[in-house]
Amino acid sequence: MFIDQATIRVKAGDGGNGCMAFRREKFVPRGGPSGGDGGHGGDVVLEASQRHNTLVHFRYNPEHKAERGRHGEGSNCTGRQGEDTVLKVPVGTVVYDGETGELIHDFARPDERVIVARGGRGGRGNQHFATSTHQAPREHELGRPGEERVLRLELKLIADAGLVGYPNVGKSTLISRISAARPKIADYPFTTLEPNLGVVTTGEWPHEESFVVADIPGLIEGAHQGAGLGDQFLRHIERTRLLVHVVDVSDASGRPDPVEDFRVIEGELASFGHGLDEKPRVVVASKMDAANPDKLKKLRAMAKRKKLPFFEISAVTGEGIDALKYGLAEQIRAMRSADMPAAPLPA
């Protein structure tokens, strides 16, 4: 089950209470206050993990608490600190404050840790209140309560390239041919109900390269208003470097104009916002084994006019698959190089 949104409530541990005690021991002529401090409450920590790829483990367990601190004891004994609660989230999870909507953290790398609720401080025992004129204090502090928050988690998959297009244009078949991903493939609309990730490898060892491709459920006109599956999955391509626009050039879809198909999907990307319409894109003419020559000609002319890279493939026969793989690898390599920080100048 793929769950990419969750709301959870977290409660850090309360601090332990300070102790009020007095020292009374044989052969100790002067006793005095000996109340120990309470232990600090445990924190609630979120940690990015590569072993998780969904938020389903929060769906039926939305409340998480850290351990409270132990109370202080006599003989100046400090209470034990409460254990932290560490919650694992997938890489790509964005955490918001559920009440204010404020962004708390964006987990972009594995093993990142963020404290989202801090434990309460332990109270001071009466040993801290002794003075030269107040030698038998009975004052002591209660532990502070731990933080309590409502968090909204959103998962945005991290991929180098994202496949977009109408339903049944061959996106799932394509990702199954270029990677080890095995999505559901069938001859009816909206076969893909959740995003799929696949790792594509090109070249030979030790010079092989790899990149990640995300297959997004199909879009239709009006998706930004909730039509079809809506645009709820478009957040998963916000982080992609490149969009691969797959267009059916056969007559199987029943849509007469592939250029209009391209325009509609582009409009849905622009309506969603978040810069999707500004990302570099590649146009892929799919189902070349059953292509309509007129449709292919119109789509090729449109891509040339817009100066977009154009590939012709058939995921069934394998035609053009290698050219597409290496073409995407070359563009992604160039984008990664552009993103790398410049080398520091020599001193």
Write the pLDDT tens digit of every residue in 40-67.
999 999 999 888 878 888 988 899 999 9
Least confident piece of the model among 4-13, 14-23, 142-151, 170-179: 170-179
The pLDDT of residue 342 is: 47
Kindly indicate the confidence band of residue 80, based on its pLDDT and cuts at 50, 70 and 90.
very high
**Going by C-beta distance under 8 Å and a sequence separation of 6 or more, which residues neighbour residue 17?**
38, 71, 72, 122, 123, 140, 141, 142, 143
Given a cut of 60, is residue 343 above it in pLDDT?
no
Given pLDDT bands bounded at 50, 70 and 90, which one contains residue 223? low
Q: What pLDDT is attached to residue 164?
A: 87
- Tens-place pLDDT, residues 176-201: 888 876 665 655 455 555 677 778 88
> What's the pLDDT at 230?
55
- How much of the chain exceeds pLDDT 90, in percent? 33
Angle separating helix axes 258-272 and 293-305, nearest 10 degrees: 50
Instruction: Give the residue-averaged pLDDT of 136-142.
Output: 91
Contact in structure between 98 and 7 (CB atoms under 8 Å): yes
Question: Six-digit token pair at 18?
Answer: 């300070």
Higher-pLDDT residue of 169, 138: 138
- Position 126 pLDDT exceeds 70: yes
- Determine the Cα–Cα distance for residues 86 and 73; give it in Å rounded to an integer: 28
Between residues 138 and 200, the one the model is more confident about: 138
Whether the predicted pLDDT of 318 surpasses 60: yes
The domains located in the chain, with CATH, are 5-155 (2.70.210.12), 161-339 (3.40.50.300)
- Residue 56's alpha-carbon distances to 5, 8, 59, 229, 245, in angstroms, are 9, 12, 5, 20, 30
Indicate the length of the chain as a whole number: 347
Please tell me the least confidently modeled range out of 35-49, 65-79, 242-256, 289-303. Answer: 242-256
324 pLDDT higher than 60:
yes
Rounded mean pLDDT, 70-74? 93
pLDDT of amino acid 276: 79
Distance CA 330, CA 101 (A): 39
Position 221 pLDDT exceeds 90? no
Helices 171-178/321-339 angle, 10° precision: 80
Here the tokens at position 136 are 């038998």
Round the average pLDDT of the chain to a whole number and report it: 84
> What number of other Cβ atoms are within 10 A of residue 282's Cβ?
20
Q: Is the pLDDT of residue 129 over 80?
A: yes
Average pLDDT over residues 307-327: 88
Residues ≥6 apart with Cβ < 8 Å to 73 = 19, 21, 36, 79
Concatenated DSSP letters for 236-266? GGTT-SEEEEEEE-BSTT--S-HHHHHHHHH
Confidence at residue 192, expressed as pLDDT on a 0 to 100 scale: 54
pLDDT score for 194:
66
